[in-house]
Amino acid sequence: MKARSKAAPASVAKARVLLGILCSLALWPVVQRQLVTRFEIDPWKFAGFAMYATWTGTVVVPLEPAPGGGLTPMDETALPAFARDALHRFRRDRPALGKLLPPDELAQTLFAARPEIDGLVVAIQRMQLDPKTARIISTKQTRPFVREKAPESQ
């Protein structure tokens, strides 16, 4: 009868860990592709295996009511530093996180920076390479926001 080696359980555990890592690596491209498709995250982020197969770009523009009606781009140079920083962070993070990062917090920061406006729109344009035509296509999302009125005291 052979005596069992104490190294055998350790090597079995190592083999299971290695198998788990390999399975995760094998499944990640499928999961990451679904995140790119469903939530518009950047295919170049989060260890994306498709990063060399496509291109994306995102433009974010805050719009405010124009004096004569309609909308005009917000003068970002007139914003206080905290609002410019919030806009910069949103522009940096939105392409990577896509729809997982909604513009709601940015809008509230812009309202805090501009107390004289009652509404604004955050326009997000996403450009990507169309695999069927090999041309860049653009999708636009506009999110209107209305300042919440404080309840009147009685």
pLDDT digits (tens, 9 = 90+) for 58-89: 899 999 999 888 999 999 999 999 999 999 99
15 and 91 co-located in one domain: no
64 and 6 co-located in one domain: no
What is the domain extent for residue 29? 2-39
In a domain, 101, yes or no: yes
In a domain, 21, yes or no: yes
pLDDT digits (tens, 9 = 90+) for 2-30: 555 555 777 888 889 889 989 888 888 88
Structure tokens at 124: 């997000």
What is the tally of structural domains in the chain?
2
Cα gap 124→71, rounded to integer Å: 15
Structure tokens at 24: 């995760």
Closest C-alpha to 60, from 38, 86, 81: 86
**pTM of the predicted model, to two decimals?**
0.71
Query: CA-based angle 112:77:79, to the nearest 5?
Result: 10
In a domain, 135, yes or no: yes
In a domain, 25, yes or no: yes
Query: CA-based angle 53:56:58, to the nearest 5?
Result: 170
